[in-house]
Amino acid sequence: MTPGDATRVLTLAASYDQRTIGETDALAWAKVLGDTNIDDAFQAIVDHYSRETRRLMPADVLAGVRRIRNARLAEVPEEVPDADPEDVLAYQLALREQRHRVADGTERQRPITEFVKPIAERKAIPTR
């Protein structure tokens, strides 16, 4: 997260708790929030203030983002990633990358039929 992104996050928080925001605040929050997705951070802030009256801290945003990501993973049934399961390392890597994309909200897991059909076609015994 850039200091500019952190300023936007802090601006949303300020709309709830009337905090003042300075350049050092944005730098500090950006450092703590790291690579946090800004849209998830916004949602975490809305979620926080819908149930809390205390002032939001960076740890609250991180915990909220974790809840959002875990909810995405929980609502989608585990599917087979786009990799050959016989290549164990490639399969594990594809599974890990797929789970990250689903948690990020950038991809829904694909139905297994999309994966199985090409493998079945590739492994099919040719007819004469």
Please check the confidence at residue 59 and state whether its pLDDT lies above 70: yes
Share of the chain above pLDDT 90, in %: 53
Is the pLDDT reported for residue 76 higher than 90? no
Distance between CA atoms of residues 96 and 98, nearest Å = 5
State the average pLDDT for the chain: 84
The length of the chain is: 128
The single residue listed with the structure tokens 């139905």 is 111
Phi, psi of 84, deg, nearest 5: -75, 115
What's the rounded Cα separation, in Å, for the pair 55 and 12? 12
pTM for this prediction: 0.69
Domain parsing of the chain, residue ranges: 3-75, 88-123
Residue 124 has pLDDT above 60, yes or no: no
> Is pLDDT above 90 for 14?
yes
Among the residue ranges 31-35, 61-65, 101-105, the one predicted with the least confidence is 101-105
Q: In sequence order, which ranges of the chain are alpha helices (DSSP H)?
A: 3-17, 23-33, 38-51, 58-75, 88-104, 112-123
User: Across 29-124, where does the E strand assignment appear?
Assistant: none
Both tokens of residue 71? 């909810």
Can you give the pLDDT at residue 95?
Answer: 82
pLDDT value of residue 123: 59
